[in-house]
Amino acid sequence: MKHRLPFLALLAVSIAIAACSSPGPTAKGEPAEAAAVKPALRAPTMADTKALDVPGVHNIVAYAPGVFSGSVPEGAKGFDSLAAMGIKTVISVDGATPDLAEARKHGMRYIHLPIGYDTVPEDRAKALAQALASVDGPVYMHCHHGKHRSAAAASVACIATGRTTPEEATRRMKEISGTTANYSGLYAVVQATKPMDKDSLRIDPSTLPEVTKVSGLVATMVELDVVFDNLKALNGAEWQVPKDHPDLVPAKEARRAATLFRGLHDDAESNAYPADYQQWLNRSIEDADAIAKAVDAGDAKEAALRFQSLGKTCKECHKPYRDQ
Q: Which domains does the chain have, with CATH numbers?
A: 7-207 (3.90.190.10), 216-323 (1.20.120.10)
Please report the pLDDT score of residue 164 as a whole number.
98
**Residue type at position 120:** V
Please report the pLDDT score of residue 33 as a whole number.
42
H-helix or E-strand spanning residue 161 = none
Please state the rounded mean pLDDT for residues 78-94.
97
Please state the rounded mean pLDDT for residues 298-305.
94
Asked if the model's pLDDT at residue 123 lies above 60, the reply is: yes
List Cβ neighbours of 117 (8 Å cut-off, separation of 6 or more). 7, 148, 149, 183, 185, 186, 318, 322, 323
List Cβ neighbours of 71 (8 Å cut-off, separation of 6 or more). 57, 58, 59, 60, 142, 143, 144, 145, 146, 150
Q: How many CB atoms lie within 10 A of CB 189?
A: 23
Asked if the model's pLDDT at residue 152 lies above 90, the reply is: yes
Please report the pLDDT score of residue 39 as a whole number.
59
pLDDT class of 142 with cuts at 50, 70, 90? very high
Are the C-beta atoms of 94 and 143 separated by less than 8 Å? yes
Please state the rounded mean pLDDT for residues 94-107.
94
**To the nearest whole number, what is the mean pLDDT of the chain?**
86
Give the global pTM. Answer: 0.72
List Cβ neighbours of 216 (8 Å cut-off, separation of 6 or more). 10, 267, 268, 269
Distance CA 170, CA 152 (A): 8
pLDDT tens figures, 222-277:
778 888 888 999 999 999 999 888 888 898 888 888 888 888 877 888 888 888 98
H-helix or E-strand spanning residue 65 = none
pLDDT class of 2 with cuts at 50, 70, 90? very low
Please report the pLDDT score of residue 118 as a whole number.
81
